[in-house]
Structures are given as C-alpha cells and as structure tokens.
Amino acid sequence: MSRSYLFIPGNTPSMIQNLDVFESDAVIIDFEDSVTSYDKDAARILIKNFLKKYSYKDIDLYIRINSAESDYFLNDVKDTLDLDIIGYVLPKASVKAINALNKLSSKKIIPIIESPLALLHVKEIANEDNVTALLLGAEDYTKELGIKRSLEGKEIFYARSIIAITANAYNIDSIDTPYTNKEDMEGLLVDSENALNLGFTSKSSIHPNQVDIINTVFAPSLDEITEARRIIKKSEETNKGAFSLDGKMIDMPIIEKAKKVLEKAKKYNL
C-alpha cells in the first residue's frame, strides 16, 4: 500500500537517523550500491545497532541487500534476520536468487527487475513465496539493453507495462524506477505520472526531496476520496450487491476499489 519507497544509504549515520523525517511510506536501507566494498561490514553493524535501539511503527522498513551472487549476500541476511524489518529488496533478482533468499529467511521480498532476462521471467518471479512487490530498475536494465533513457520513457514502456500488469495480476505492489535527476521536480512529476498511468502503485526515490511529489501522485485525489465515500455510503444504505450511482453501475469490484481508496486515505492522513 506504500506510495513511496525512499533509498537511504546504509552506512551514513546522518541519513539513517533521519529516515523517518522525510515522510516516505517505506524506506529501503541500502547495503548495495551506496556502500563501498570495504564498508559492507560497517553498514551491517550500524544498522543492527540502530534498529535495535529505535523502532518505527509507521514506516515499512526494508534492506536492499547485495545480490545473491555477491560475497556479501550471506552475511547481509544472517546479520539482519532478527531485526524489525518487513523484508529485503533483492537486486539482480531471479527465481534462483529468490529461492536462495527464501532458504535463509521468511521475510518479505521485493525483487528488483533490472535485466532483460529478469523481465522475461517476471511472472515466475512474482509467483515466488514471500514476494510482496516488484521494483523496476531501469538504469541497469537499459544499460544491458544498450539503450539511452529519456524523460518520456518510451524505451522502458514495455518493461513498465509488463511489471505493472504482472504485479496487479498477482495482487502485489509495483514500484517504479527512481528518477535520477535530483534537482528536476517538474521532470519527476511527469515521470511519476507516466508510471501511475501504466498502473504502478508506487515509485522509489533516491533523494528525500522527491518524496512529496511521489506521495501526491500515488495517493488518491480529493475527488477520488469523495467519490469513494459516496460509494461506500450508498452500498451500506442499499444492502444490494450492485446499485446505480449517478447513472453508473456500481458492483462488487468497484466497491472493493472504493474501500481500498478509503483505506489509503486513512493511512496517509488525507
């Protein structure tokens, strides 16, 4: 149900101790790209001590561990099993990697789809145990494909679409790729709306200043909330499985969607 997933570098105390300040619905503490190879141990110990001392009821915490093929994978998981986190974000995800992770842990998994091969296997990946969302990693994906990225996003249209559709079909969340231009707020808005309009339920970000826009884009609008309230109200009054509202046919799926909208509105304090 999270709208935003904020990456926080796992070995930077000043960011770690402020992870809840930026109002992201979920935070991904990063052990991978933002931590140098010689400080992987330092990050694990820092996060272990941090999460043992401070708890966050209102934020979904994940750790992006290193890929299953890396030297760090085993220790990343072993050292964090007893921490109060929802689960792991798994880079370079594949069915094999997810299996390896599930052998070690029963926490939730968010695989990062960041290669053409992973994209081709997205259905199997979505179907694996404990997978709770799919995250698109467009940087690595386009690098492998040998193509350039654009704001319009035509080149990742298919990747976005298939991930959003698959996640929806398997009843899990879809998380769009980060917008890498930290200063460009207008571009971020366009990019987020592009993802929303393809069916993504959320977006990840690499900078705290991006969270507000993402939260706004992926939250139900005031109109949607008002409409949802009316639908629920009428459904409670009529007691019928389906009814008419404003000339439109309202049946079970629409009522369920309205319930979800109100749930979100309540959670995000809208």
Partner 1 sequence: MGEYSERKIKVIKHIDELFTFIDIFEHKNISFHHHLRNGDYVLNYVLKKYIKENVQGINLFPSSIFPSYLGILDLIKNNQINDITTNYINGPVAQYISKNGLPGILKMQTHGGRARSIIEGKSKIDIAFIAAPYVNHDGDCVGYLGKNKCGSLGYAIADSIHAKIKVLVTDNLVDVAILHPEISGSNIDYILLVDSIGDSQGIVSGTTQVTNNPVGVKIAKNTSTLLKELGVIKNGFSFQSGAGGISLRVTKDVKDIMIKENIKASFFSGGITKYHVEMLEEGLVEKLYDVQCFDLEAIESLSRNKNHIPISASRYANPNDKSQIIKDLDIVILGATEIDYDFNVNVTTDSHQTLVGGSGGHSDTATESKICVIVSPLIQGRIPVIKERVTTITTLGKNIDCLVTERGIVINPLRKDLVKILKESKLKILTIQELSEIAHNFTNIPKDIVNRDKIIGEVEDRTFEIIDYIYQK
Partner 2 sequence: MKTSAGSLESSDCLITISDSSQLEIVIESVVFAQFGEQIKEVIVNTLNEHNITNVLVQCFDKGALDYTIKSRLETALNRRGEHHE
Contact footprint for partner 1 (CB under 8 A): 17-18, 21-23, 183, 207-209, 212, 269
By CB under 8 A, which span of 42-50, 89-97, 101-109, 199-207 interacts with partner 2? Answer: 42-50
Q: Which is nearer to partner 1, 17 or 197 (CB)?
A: 17
From the list partner 1, partner 2, none, which binds 45 (C-beta under 5 to 8 Å, kind-based)? partner 2
- From the CB of 68, what's the least distance to partner 2, in Å? 23
E strands within the chain?
Answer: 4-9, 26-30, 60-64, 87-90, 108-113, 133-136, 173-176, 202-205, 243-245, 248-250
Alpha carbon separation from 204 to 117, 148, 177, 211, 256 (Å, rounded): 22, 20, 6, 9, 26
Residues 45, 126: Cα–Cα separation, whole Å: 31
Q: What is the DSSP string of 98-114?
A: HHHHHHH--SEEEEEE-
- 20 lies in the site for partner 2, by CB under 8 A: no
From the list partner 2, partner 1, none, which binds 50 (C-beta under 5 to 8 Å, kind-based)? partner 2
What sign results for the dihedral spanned by CA atoms 93, 97, 102, 105?
A: negative
Q: Are 172 and 132 in contact (CB under 8 A)?
A: yes
The residue from 6, 29, 35, 46 that contacts partner 2 (CB under 8 A) is 46
AA letter at 57: K
- 12 lies in the site for partner 2, by CB under 8 A: yes
- From the CB of 9, what's the least distance to partner 1, in Å? 13
- From the CB of 51, what's the least distance to partner 2, in Å? 9
- 29 lies in the site for partner 2, by CB under 8 A: no
AA letter at 174: S
Contact positions vs partner 2 (CB under 8 A): 12-14, 17, 39, 41-42, 45-46, 48-50, 52-54
